[in-house]
Structure 1
Amino acid sequence: MAAVSSAAVVLIRLQPPRRRRLRCRGRNEMLLFAAFVPLALWILLLLWRDVCRKSQGHKRSFFSLLHQYMFQRYVSFLSLRQRRRLEDSTKNVQHLQDRTLLHRIHRDRSTEYGRLYRFSEVTDRLSFCSVHPLTQYDHYSDYIQRISKGEENILIPGRPSALTVTSGTSGAPALLLCIQAAMNDLHQGFGACFSAKINAYPQTRNLQRTAMFFYPPVWRKSESGIPIGPYSVSPVASRHMSSSYSTPAAGYEITSGAEALYVHLLFALKDRSLGILEASFASVLYYTFALLQHQWEQLVEDIRLGRVNPALTVADDIRLRLNAQLKPDPRRAYELAVEFGSGFRGIARRVWPHLNLVLVVDSGANELYGSNLQRFYCEGVPTYSPVYAAAEGLIGVNLWPERSERYYLLCPQSMFYEFIPVNLCEEEQPQTLFMEEVKENELYELVVTNASGLYRYRLGDIVKVVAFHNQCPVIEFQYRQSQTLNVRGERITEAAFHQTLLHAVKLWPGAVLHDYCCVESGLLGSWCGGSDLHYEVFVEIEGVRNMSEDQRYKLDQCLQEDSAVYQSFRRKGSIGPVRVHIVALGSFKELTDFIVAHSGISHNQFQMPRVLKKKEFLDFIQRKVIS
């Protein structure tokens, strides 16, 4: 009883100080809260002002703008890290190249292929080159067929996440392995390009949407269930990206290429405040504008009524979701009709007055499409060609967006590179050079060892080393060896013929070149019309329908002026004159669709072959000749 009373007294005596401490803590928390609220409001106000400023008054919900703002800041942070990582990798390329090579050799040493080529004995680049020959696709075709049927641990440990289809510019499309590491390299390359883009064009930080013109990829499965498809992913693969694009997510579910492109155009035209036009290649964007030029009245009517055109073959559930995003907009429809009625030169900047950038790859086979975009549809809008990549993986990134030349910094962590001097390319196993051994202004064939089971693989791409960034070569794509014209050993490259053709077109009064391809006479058969070896050239031109034989002969004269070897063969009569054929407008878009349909590749990865190698493609373009 006494003990209880004593404890009660102690408890009573302790209570007042505790209450005081609680009251003090409460006052401190109130003071902190009172200080935090204005700070939080101030931060929110700054955020609101920044979002509103970057939105430039565009008619979108604040939450949509905020979502894009936060995603853009996150991507900017990641891209800055990736740019710094790339910069660091260029400072000691020999060490990094050795590490990249040995990491892959060590990873693959227990595979069937690694045991065959004694990867366990490889200790450096020299020992690797001594045990492994230079290779081309035929070297791997049987291995890849076995992998597609379900065999594992052949070229790489386990099985690939997918099989990807090459573009087919060197011949028939081929299957290659695709693993996550290669995709990570590609994403890091795009991250570095994103950093370069916002540094060169700060206005792209604005909260404007991008119109992505993207054909639905064609996917199938191998015998063992491995996905087979293009080396690309949907722009809205992540829901966080959806706020950045003008097309709603449902638009990327459309399976037909023509319908998908129409829907991308519809939503792009509806958004007057677009900031960027984007596509995989310049050819995709070029054909998109050609579609716009032919179907603008239908598109304007859809915007006026706020619908997806009923004539389009679109699944009902997709159509419902797309229509929910559309509202009748007679004012925008009228504005567009006025601009289209005034012609299509410079139409991009006229229908999207806030347009900042065209984002497409326009080097190599896409150079003509890129120059036509800049000359006509996208006049006055800068173009950025961000990456040099292929189904084999990421090769280089363009860190100089504002330059008209397309220079690409090789990525030392993406692949192990070797270089064959151009004068040795005809040899089967020539001596190669390493990154630190190449010289400026010299031409080389690229050889790569990638993350996906290709070793000392000859790409067939001829590049020119134009500079060095720290210790890393900066290259310019020149041409593909498979696209060289050669009937007597004269070897006229794709790049050389392209420049000669442009020269000849200037001698055809009023002519504007839209597209072209060539054929060596050996592919013609009975259509040849003579026994002499020569080139057949098919051109899609505007402004000229019928040319005299003298005008057509201008191309042959230009070739003789530009190539002494060709001129020598012409004078000896070993090669006959070039024969020029004019095809109907739109023929090359139809040829593109035909090749894609018969090759199993995607429009997003297709590059027009300038030298046709297949008879069925030649037969198709011959049927389009009008003069």
Structure 2
Amino acid sequence: MEPTISIGSGWKILEGMTINAYQTQQQVLEEILTQNLHTEYLSQFLNGHSDKEHFKTKVPVVDYEDIKPYMERIANEEPSNIILAETVTALTRSSGTSAGRPKLMPLTDSELDRRTYDQGKRMQLLFVRPEIKAPSGLPTRSILTSYLICKNFEKHESSLHTSPIATILCSDSKQSMYCQMLCALLQRNEVVCVGLVFGSTLSMILNKPNPELADLIEDICNAKSWEGIIKKLCPGTKCIDAIVTGSMAQYIPMLEFDCGGIPLVSKCYASSEGLLGINLKPLSKPCDTCYTLVPNMAYFEFLPVHENNEEERSKKEVIEVVDLVNVKLGQCYELVVTTFIGLYRYKVGDILKVTGYHNNAPQFQFVRRKDAFLSIDSEKTAEDELAEGILQAKLFVGQFQLQLVDYTSAVDISLIPGHYILFWELKMEESSKSPELRPSIIEECCYIVEQSLNFVYRASRMGNSIGPLEIRVVKHGTFDALMEFSVSKGFSVSQYNTPRCIKLEEALKILNSRVVGRYFSQQLPGYKILKWKLNKSM
């Protein structure tokens, strides 16, 4: 399958699918069930019936732990037709940063074709991870690695990017990064988008030294401020392609500072389970980013998520699973997919909010990962809720020329009562140096974060069933060390994102070994809306 569809033709196809979203979804489900009806997994539920009614009433909604035994059986030499009629050609590994360990997912040749789409002239750092052979002989690798080594990429897309394929396939990530950056800088005037990267062969680019370019780049980088550095290095850049939704939103101010007015674009919604949605308004503000789920990529269902963190409802309660065209505007849902790679009514773990419609297809905003929360007592603090508190604290420390580089969280129940811990890496604005901190500033940040959390948390604090929130400031480079640790455990550099809730003991040891200061909230959070005033005398 060759990606030869023009933009105009592609838009007409998309319009047709979104206008006929219901019909397209029924066709997708029928195709998936017809192809895989006699697999071991579906046979136990459907008993030869391929209609939607049997599927809805007999096939259970599952998570990864339910299908993990099937993935392990395929990895250990059993035939892949236990879950999928089409031949599985590889097993992909998820990034693992949400759950703490990678998940195995099947991959087929037709699925790779389905995820291939044309790009523009681009520059970004992407890396492959060495594949591991399962006992069955199937290669186990990240979905990104599978994409980069496939024939479609090398044949149709490598010439559209600045990095030679050899630099991306280099197993040494540091050498790969150096070579990709060098190639991008040598082609700086051709770059129109900083995002996904690849290019012509290394020998075609590094044919001779260019001292004039070297001097120019050195002058740019030696400037007093790096504001707009990307625009200066690559003056033809039209957009920055980056994920800026969910917990990644905290990087928006830093990216905007570096970009010098270049739009931030989050073009698609993808995961290890598939390429699921696209952003039809890529030039909208990052905070307004929403995705239209493409009706032919999977069969989509949704579990309603109620407010006040009530996802874990009584097991006796019958939860209605909603189809794509029946979701309600403003409601939050957990995404459930049935895919062409053998996932049936599988909970992806993403919480999405319905924000609008494109024709008859709903549009969603990514809210958070379902399981990324902190809990000590009866409260549950979700990732997006914590992120809002962090944003308020960032605004506060910004008044003192302090910048939050990165953060994560954990709970400490070694003492009674237990309490939340935030690990913060700070620096001075326009400097990489670690700042000298006044305790009162960070203590106020503890209070600001606490005051922004949910009612149950604040009530628990006032009732002394949860202790004061703590911020542990870590030294410069700590979150780089955390990433390097994750990469050493087999995570992909390109797929890595900082986990917002740490539970893995080894990762906590890395963070705690680099703590340079510990600060606790000095006030009980109240029930009123947060109102703080800057006090320069603090």
TM-score range (shorter-chain normalised) is 0.7 to 0.9
From 117, 123, 134, the counterpart of 2:45: 117
* Cα separation, partners in 2 of 1:558 and 1:601, compared to 1, 3 Å: closer
Residue 619 (str. 1) matches residue 475 (str. 2) = no
Whole-angstrom CA distance in 2 between matches of 1:550 and 1:132: 54
Is the Cα–Cα contact under 8 Å of residues 127 and 169 in structure 2 kept in the other structure? no
Question: Where does structure 1 lack aligned partners over 5 or more consecutive residues?
Answer: 1-73, 195-203, 286-319
Q: Counterpart amino acid of 1:610?
A: R
From 86, 101, 117, the counterpart of 2:14: 86
Whole-angstrom CA distance in 1 between matches of 2:349 and 2:443: 32
- What secondary structure is seen at the aligned counterpart in 1 of 2:407? strand
From 355, 358, 372, the counterpart of 2:237: 355
* Cα separation, partners in 2 of 1:230 and 1:440, compared to 1, 3 Å: same
Q: Partner residue of 1:200?
A: none
Cα drift, residue 277 of structure 1: 4.4
**Cα deviations across residues 344-385 of structure 1 (Å, max 9, x unaligned)?**
2211111222221212222223222344212x2222111211
Q: Partner residue of 1:377?
A: 258
Q: Counterpart amino acid of 2:140?
A: I
Cα drift, residue 118 of structure 1: 1.7
Q: Partner residue of 1:533?
A: 418
Q: Partner residue of 1:131?
A: 58
Residue 184 (str. 1) matches residue 113 (str. 2) = yes
Whole-angstrom CA distance in 2 between matches of 1:420 and 1:392: 17
Is the Cα–Cα contact under 8 Å of residues 86 and 108 in structure 2 kept in the other structure? no
Q: Counterpart amino acid of 1:268?
A: A
Is the Cα–Cα contact under 8 Å of residues 122 and 195 in structure 2 kept in the other structure? no
Q: Counterpart amino acid of 2:112?
A: M
Residue 250 (str. 1) matches residue 166 (str. 2) = yes
Question: Where does structure 2 lack aligned partners over 5 or more consecutive residues?
Answer: 429-434, 518-538
Is the Cα–Cα contact under 8 Å of residues 95 and 496 in structure 2 kept in the other structure? yes
Q: Partner residue of 2:101?
A: 172
From 136, 140, 148, the counterpart of 1:234: 148
* Cα separation, partners in 2 of 1:249 and 1:135, compared to 1, 3 Å: closer
From 586, 589, 594, the counterpart of 2:477: 586
Cα drift, residue 333 of structure 1: 1.2
Residue 108 (str. 1) matches residue 48 (str. 2) = no
Alignment map for 1:473-622 (pairs within 5 Å): 473-508=362-397, 509-522=400-413, 525=414, 530-543=415-428, 544-549=435-440, 551-598=442-489, 600-622=490-512
Q: Partner residue of 1:98?
A: 26
Whole-angstrom CA distance in 2 between matches of 1:79 and 1:595: 38
Q: Partner residue of 1:218?
A: 130
Q: Counterpart amino acid of 1:418?
A: E
Q: Partner residue of 2:312?
A: 426
Whole-angstrom CA distance in 2 between matches of 1:580 and 1:175: 35
Residue 406 (str. 1) matches residue 289 (str. 2) = yes
TM-score, normalization: structure 1? Answer: 0.74
Whole-angstrom CA distance in 2 between matches of 1:532 and 1:457: 37
**Cα deviations across residues 257-310 of structure 1 (Å, max 9, x unaligned)?**
111011111111122303234446xxxx9xxxxxxxxxxxxxxxxxxxxxxxxx
Whole-angstrom CA distance in 1 between matches of 2:453 and 2:410: 19
Whole-angstrom CA distance in 2 between matches of 1:486 and 1:276: 45
> How many residues are paired up?
490
* Cα separation, partners in 2 of 1:272 and 1:459, compared to 1, 3 Å: closer
Q: Is 498-507 or 467-476 further displaced after alignment?
A: 498-507
* Cα separation, partners in 2 of 1:379 and 1:557, compared to 1, 3 Å: same
Indicate the structure (1 or 2) with the bigger Cα radius of gyration.
1
From 331, 343, 346, the counterpart of 2:212: 331
**Cα deviations across residues 417-468 of structure 1 (Å, max 9, x unaligned)?**
1111112631456221111211111111111111111111111211100001
Whole-angstrom CA distance in 2 between matches of 1:466 and 1:119: 39
Whole-angstrom CA distance in 2 between matches of 1:211 and 1:561: 38
* Cα separation, partners in 2 of 1:590 and 1:79, compared to 1, 3 Å: farther
Cα drift, residue 323 of structure 1: 9.0
State, as a whole percentage, how many aligned pairs show the same letter.
Answer: 27
* Cα separation, partners in 2 of 1:277 and 1:540, compared to 1, 3 Å: farther
Q: Counterpart amino acid of 1:408?
A: Y
Q: Partner residue of 1:146?
A: 73
Q: Partner residue of 1:45?
A: none
- What secondary structure is seen at the aligned counterpart in 1 of 2:19? coil
Is the Cα–Cα contact under 8 Å of residues 183 and 205 in structure 2 kept in the other structure? no
Is the Cα–Cα contact under 8 Å of residues 156 and 452 in structure 1 kept in the other structure? yes
Whole-angstrom CA distance in 1 between matches of 2:49 and 2:266: 41
Cα drift, residue 551 of structure 1: 3.1
Q: Is 423-432 or 214-223 further displaced after alignment?
A: 423-432
Q: Partner residue of 1:441?
A: 330
Cα drift, residue 592 of structure 1: 1.0
Whole-angstrom CA distance in 2 between matches of 1:75 and 1:512: 43
* Cα separation, partners in 2 of 1:468 and 1:119, compared to 1, 3 Å: farther
Whole-angstrom CA distance in 1 between matches of 2:461 and 2:6: 57
Is the Cα–Cα contact under 8 Å of residues 216 and 260 in structure 1 kept in the other structure? no
**Cα deviations across residues 496-538 of structure 1 (Å, max 9, x unaligned)?**
111111111222222111100000113xx4xxxx322111100
* Cα separation, partners in 2 of 1:274 and 1:370, compared to 1, 3 Å: farther
Cα drift, residue 119 of structure 1: 5.3
- What secondary structure is seen at the aligned counterpart in 2 of 1:507? helix
Whole-angstrom CA distance in 1 between matches of 2:192 and 2:425: 29
Q: Counterpart amino acid of 2:161?
A: Y
**Cα deviations across residues 37-80 of structure 1 (Å, max 9, x unaligned)?**
xxxxxxxxxxxxxxxxxxxxxxxxxxxxxxxxxxxxx9784343
Q: Partner residue of 1:27?
A: none
Is the Cα–Cα contact under 8 Å of residues 97 and 413 in structure 1 kept in the other structure? yes
Is the Cα–Cα contact under 8 Å of residues 76 and 135 in structure 2 kept in the other structure? yes
Cα drift, residue 122 of structure 1: 3.3
Is the Cα–Cα contact under 8 Å of residues 106 and 120 in structure 1 kept in the other structure? no
Q: Is 247-256 or 615-624 further displaced after alignment?
A: 247-256
Whole-angstrom CA distance in 2 between matches of 1:352 and 1:561: 40
* Cα separation, partners in 2 of 1:119 and 1:101, compared to 1, 3 Å: farther
- What secondary structure is seen at the aligned counterpart in 1 of 2:296? coil
Is the Cα–Cα contact under 8 Å of residues 250 and 322 in structure 1 kept in the other structure? no
Cα drift, residue 88 of structure 1: 0.8
- What secondary structure is seen at the aligned counterpart in 2 of 1:603? coil
Is the Cα–Cα contact under 8 Å of residues 591 and 621 in structure 1 kept in the other structure? yes
From 429, 446, 451, the counterpart of 2:340: 451
Q: Partner residue of 2:248?
A: 366
Q: Counterpart amino acid of 1:155?
A: I
Cα drift, residue 160 of structure 1: 0.6
Q: Partner residue of 2:522?
A: none
* Cα separation, partners in 2 of 1:436 and 1:247, compared to 1, 3 Å: closer
Cα drift, residue 324 of structure 1: 7.1
Q: Counterpart amino acid of 2:172?
A: S
* Cα separation, partners in 2 of 1:171 and 1:431, compared to 1, 3 Å: farther
Residue 259 (str. 1) matches residue 186 (str. 2) = no
